[in-house]
Chain A
Amino acid sequence: MGATDAAPPTASTALREATFAGLIAAGLSFPILALGTEIDFSNRLVLEQRWSWLVIAAALVFVGRLCALLLIDWRARFIAVPGTFPLVGGAALAAMTGAAGLSDGLVWMAIGAVLIVAGFALDRRLAARGAATASVPAPRATNPLFGKVLPSAGVIGLFLFPLIMLWLLGPAGSLKWINNYGIQILIFVMLGWGLNIVVGLAGLLDLGYVAFYAVGAYAYALLSTQFGLSFWLCLPLAGLFAALWGLMLGFPVLRLRGDYLAIVTLAFGEIIGAVLTNWTDLTNGKAGIMSIPRITFFGLPFTSGEGGFASTFGLEFSAIHRTIFLFYLILCLALLTNFVTIRLRRMPVGRAWEALREDEIACRSLGINTTNTKLTAFALGAMFGGFAGSFFAVRQGFVNPDSFTFLESATILAVVVLGGMGSQIGVALAAIVMVGGTEILRELAFLKSIFGNSFDPALYRMLIFGFAMVVMMIWRPRGLISGRSPSVALRSRKTVSGALVNEGHG
């Protein structure tokens, strides 16, 4: 499957290998797909057999593998392999729903077939061109796409995003897109960027990052409900508290490295969760803190009455105003995180973080106080986690310990690792894929027509994550963007290959 394949296999070997892959897929998916439990009308658990799902999974793998084997160029594979999904899905639709779904099924099959044929055509074309000109890999300069164009286009696009959505879908239709996609993804972009300081730059594996998120959220929740402080005052305070917790975590764990550090940070995340659950006098335990004051437009509440945001600006009241304001707020917070990180990378402390990740002993031999360097990384990463936490609290209006479980830490860490440790743009892309991907699964309701009404694509989230992770480990083991951009250059800035960059030892 790698680029080392010199010649494509013959049709018969490809067929044999694809059959083998299909059988493996059938075997592996048997316990997950072919058997399921259902609760029937009399509330009993019954075993349901879903052999059609097994056939579909095996067929998908078979056709996909066959395409991948017969195509040489990765671009051709990129087009043809996704085509197997509409092809097989359409066939299943046509076969299982009978006359009702026949036309739909045929349309999907046609789309799939077109993609696959296009892939094969492209492959022939590329093979012919490749034979004419022996390809010499160009030296890798910094990719301008990831260096300049993509980030600035992304920022402009993000600032326009709510307005475009509002214009396209109206206030009611755009709410889901701005809230579930926009804000949710941006929270994880910000958390990913914050954790990136600790994990990506300083190379300290932190499995309990959600603790700082929780500290920030509870800091706002408690300060606003108990002392009536405004969000704009609580935001820096929440960051400060989280940073202090970062220092508190930093001190005991500084002597630990690698696995030991990871375990202690994991424990720290669990401790915060346990304290929040059990210190009921302060946190109200599992019930959480309710009626946290909502965000205001610098003092103007987003309410329908007189003196609210809408009436002050002469607008018709709509709930979307608050959502759009929250969107811009988290966007600005995330961009602040990004700005500070990018600037700090060019400061002595940022270079010391990266040097620490590369070789701690060499750092000490150069007179760098590694203790302080680690502490600053912990504190700064925690501060941004705290900012994000207080944003979370003001957005939800309600916090309880269930929002700050290990799964959140794992998701944030996955965003950082998937993005490519240390790469800002990579982390942003990974957050879009991870969080946006989850939300997209909710949109795939049409799959119900294939798999039956009880089918909920969102339940397969973890399965798909796992699969995506395995695929990533094979194709891009160092994340979406693995190259490192130097912090300073004498003549020209050249991307450092990810293979040379250390991942840190804790």
Chain B
Amino acid sequence: MADPGPAADRQPLQRWTRDPLLVVEHLTMRFGGLVAVNDLSFQVGRGDITALIGPNGAGKTTVFNCVTGFYKPSQGRLALAREGRALPQDVAALTRTGRAHQRFPDGDLYLLERMRDFEITRHARVARTFQNIRLFPGMTVLENLIVAQHNALMRASGMSFLGLIGWPAYRAREKEAIDKAASWLERIGLIDRADDPAGALPYGAQRRLEIARAMCTDPVLLCLDEPAAGLNPRESAELNVLLRLIRDREGTSILLIEHDMSVVMQISDHVVVLDYGTRIADGTPEEVRNDPRVIGAYLGVEDEEELIQVEAEIAEVSS
């Protein structure tokens, strides 16, 4: 796919309305008296890179934790169509059944708020990374990627019982898993460090490894929590290449939280802006960039002088 850029996509309906992968409706998350996310609705388009931005404490990570099942939302619906599209009538039909999953002619539809965290990854195929990297530091780089293929290997090894007696089909499957891990290590440039402990890698490499590990679960939606945090400009540019590759070559949609505007503006197809747990803007990067509400609220600036300075920075980045 020759990156058409968001402009080429400008049809009467944007992809996230035309072909939504994830439909978030009226999502509310309360912690005691604190409302972290308040009646938030947005859609994630299939094949898009969607950026979730907003000032610190806007509720971005809370939204992530709701989508990936680490929090149970206080209210709201999170419908994910693993294949096909999340049609409103299908979502409504599934909601009435009280179950979390139903197969429609188009494909499988899941209601994430009714599922537990590991089920979301296993069945709905949503993978995530963490703001503070969560690798398995004492396991090697290769082992990290093999653990990510746990469920597929578990089936192949007959819940480990057949594997215990040296079942040949399991050995073949394990070799496949190693090949898959190796191909990801090639792509993120860590093939030479495959047998080193993950905890011994430099920070930037750990970030890339965490993304590769999430990709080894074969997700349809990859949720990245600040993937560029702590990266230098070169690593940040490499990350952009990697994320585009994931979108274009693997066909995995990406939902990311990011503060680094160079990443957000260059690679996103769709930007959703949060402030105080509510959506204040939603559109293509250009639309959002020029939205004065976003500039004011997101960057937390009140006075004119700072606003001009920040606008100049954004212009510099996007030129």
A interface residue numbers (CB < 8 A to B):
340, 343-344, 346-352, 354-355, 357-359, 361-370, 484, 486-494, 496-497, 500-502
Point out the residues of chain B lying under 8 angstroms from A363, CB to CB. Answer: 118, 147
- Measured between alpha carbons, how far is A492 from B140 in the docked complex, in Å? 11
- Measured between alpha carbons, how far is A361 from B185 in the docked complex, in Å? 23
Known contacts A349-B154, A365-B134, A496-B197; A486/B122 CB under 8 A: no
- Measured between alpha carbons, how far is A368 from B178 in the docked complex, in Å? 18
The reply on B294 being an interface residue by CB < 8 A is no
Task: Bin the interface of chain B by size.
Answer: 35 or more
Besides the contacts A348-B160, A368-B151, what 8 more A-B pairs have beta carbons closer than 8 Å?
A350-B160, A361-B134, A362-B130, A362-B136, A365-B127, A369-B118, A493-B195, A500-B197
A12 to chain B, nearest CB (A): 44
The reply on B199 being an interface residue by CB < 8 A is yes
- Measured between alpha carbons, how far is A361 from B197 in the docked complex, in Å? 19
B9 to chain A, nearest CB (A): 31
Q: Write 8 A-B pairs (CB below 8 A) sorted by A numbering.
A: A343-B164, A358-B135, A358-B139, A359-B136, A366-B127, A366-B150, A490-B178, A490-B195
A247 to chain B, nearest CB (A): 15
- Measured between alpha carbons, how far is A363 from B118 in the docked complex, in Å? 8
A422 to chain B, nearest CB (A): 9
The reply on B68 being an interface residue by CB < 8 A is yes
Point out the residues of chain B lying under 8 angstroms from A491, CB to CB. Answer: 194-195
B297 to chain A, nearest CB (A): 31
- A344, A354, A362: most-surrounded residue (chain B CB, <10 A): A362
- A348, A361, A369: most-surrounded residue (chain B CB, <10 A): A348
A371 to chain B, nearest CB (A): 9
A-B Cβ contacts below 8 A, count: 137
With beta carbons under 8 angstroms apart, the residue of A349, A355, A494, A501 that contacts B160 is A349
Residue contact B130 to A365, C-beta cutoff 8 Å: yes
- Measured between alpha carbons, how far is A325 from B201 in the docked complex, in Å? 51
With beta carbons under 8 angstroms apart, the residue of A350, A358, A370, A489 that contacts B138 is A358
Point out the residues of chain B lying under 8 angstroms from A346, CB to CB. Answer: 163
B134 to chain A, nearest CB (A): 4
Interface residues of B in 259-312 (CB under 8 A from A): none
Known contacts A347-B160, A364-B118, A490-B194; A354/B150 CB under 8 A: no
A47 to chain B, nearest CB (A): 53
B71 to chain A, nearest CB (A): 12
Point out the residues of chain B lying under 8 angstroms from A484, CB to CB. Answer: 138
The reply on B196 being an interface residue by CB < 8 A is yes
Residue contact A354 to B139, C-beta cutoff 8 Å: yes
B255 to chain A, nearest CB (A): 14
With beta carbons under 8 angstroms apart, the residue of A366, A488, A490, A500 that contacts B200 is A500
- Measured between alpha carbons, how far is A344 from B151 in the docked complex, in Å? 15
Residue contact B135 to A359, C-beta cutoff 8 Å: yes
Complex interface bits, B233-269 against A, C-beta within 8 A gives 1, otherwise 0: 0000000000000000000000000000000000000
Residue contact B195 to A368, C-beta cutoff 8 Å: no
A356 to chain B, nearest CB (A): 9
Point out the residues of chain A lying under 8 angstroms from B197, CB to CB. Answer: 496-497, 500
The reply on B113 being an interface residue by CB < 8 A is no
- Measured between alpha carbons, how far is A361 from B135 in the docked complex, in Å? 10
Residue contact A340 to B164, C-beta cutoff 8 Å: yes
Residue contact B147 to A488, C-beta cutoff 8 Å: no
- Measured between alpha carbons, how far is A493 from B196 in the docked complex, in Å? 9
Residue contact A367 to B138, C-beta cutoff 8 Å: no
Complex interface bits, B115-140 against A, C-beta within 8 A gives 1, otherwise 0: 00111011000011110001111111
- A346, A367, A369, A492: most-surrounded residue (chain B CB, <10 A): A367
Point out the residues of chain A lying under 8 angstroms from B85, CB to CB. Answer: none
Point out the residues of chain B lying under 8 angstroms from A366, CB to CB. Answer: 118, 121, 127, 147-148, 150, 213-214, 217
- Measured between alpha carbons, how far is A500 from B138 in the docked complex, in Å? 5
The reply on B142 being an interface residue by CB < 8 A is yes
